[in-house]
Amino acid sequence: MNDDRFEYQPTSLDTAAQDAMVQQFVTRTYGWMSAGLALTAVVAMFVASSPEIIQGMRNPLIFIVLMVVQFALVVGLSAAINHISSAAATGGFLFYAALNGVLLSFVLLKYTAASVASTFLITTLMFGSMCIFGLVTKRDLTSMGSFMVMGLWGMIIASLVNLFFQNTMMQWILGYVGVIVFTGLTAYDAQKIKAIAQATFQDEQAEGKASIMGALTLYLDFINLFLSLIRILGRRNND
């Protein structure tokens, strides 16, 4: 997420007023992220409990189409953020979260309920800790964030290659690398969102869109951290 896509200007407000605005923006951003996660969980549980939907999803073509649509949504939302309304950005984010729930339903079926629940709890604790660190630390995390982004691209390339080889050891390694990458990105993105919150937006629409894009970024960090952890900790139903 690039900070320069949002329309904001340096603030000249007094410290108390600025702190209040920062708190409001951060709360709003994390609130939307939580709403997205809740929607994903509800949709995933609903789909996982419907044998008819699951059977239809087992069609490789349908699954690939849904993944392409999901990817296109993130890219399209990021590219069009300056040209759409805050309401449209919110709708796009919630639709993405719902679609992600459909795809994540297979995780609920693949792993035991106990391992999904325990992994979710661990993810929440790790994510929350890194968000707090990113918000309170005085250290500039930009260099670490850049390193983590490079690691993310390496993961993407390795994952695409492993689609053809289906190497179990590679999946296990990607799980550990993913934990490191998305833990670091969570702290970095939390700090970025705080920096955006410390700006004065030109209008409410720009502030709303910045909040949604921040929520999407944190949402992706959480989901990918969860998926990386469950690769390591998850117990399969057939084990």
37 to each of 45, 85, 98, 120, 139, how far by Cα in Å?
Answer: 12, 22, 9, 11, 29
**What CA–CA distances, in Å, run from 14 to 9, 18, 22, 63, 199?**
15, 6, 12, 52, 13
What is the total count of domains within the chain? 1
Please give the pLDDT value at position 191. 94
| DSSP code, position 199 | S
The range of the structural domain enclosing residue 36 comes to: 14-233
The C-alpha angle 129, 113, 40, rounded to 5 degrees, equals 60
The predicted pLDDT at position 201 comes to: 66
Residue 185 lies in a domain: yes
Residue 81 located in a structural domain: yes
Please report whether residue 103 resides in a domain: yes
pLDDT value of position 8 = 45
Residue at 4 is within a domain: no
pLDDT at 7: 46
* Residue whose entry in the numeric block shows the structure tokens 């909040």: 211
Which burial class, exposed, middle or buried, applies to 75 when counting CB atoms under 10 A from its CB (0-12, 13-18, 19+)? exposed
Note whether residue 128 is domain-resident: yes
Residue-by-residue pLDDT tens, the chain, 239 positions: 444 444 444 444 567 767 778 888 999 999 999 999 999 999 999 998 888 888 877 777 887 888 888 889 988 998 888 889 999 999 999 999 999 999 899 888 889 989 999 999 999 999 999 999 999 999 999 999 899 999 988 888 888 887 777 778 888 898 999 999 999 999 999 999 988 887 766 678 888 899 999 999 999 999 999 999 998 998 888 75
**Alpha-carbon distances, residue 204 vs 3, 5, 22, 37 (angstroms):** 17, 15, 14, 24
What 8-state DSSP symbol labels residue 139? S
Residue 97 lies in a domain: yes
Tokens describing residue 110? 């693949």
Domain assignment present for 238: no
Q: What is the pLDDT of residue 217?
A: 95
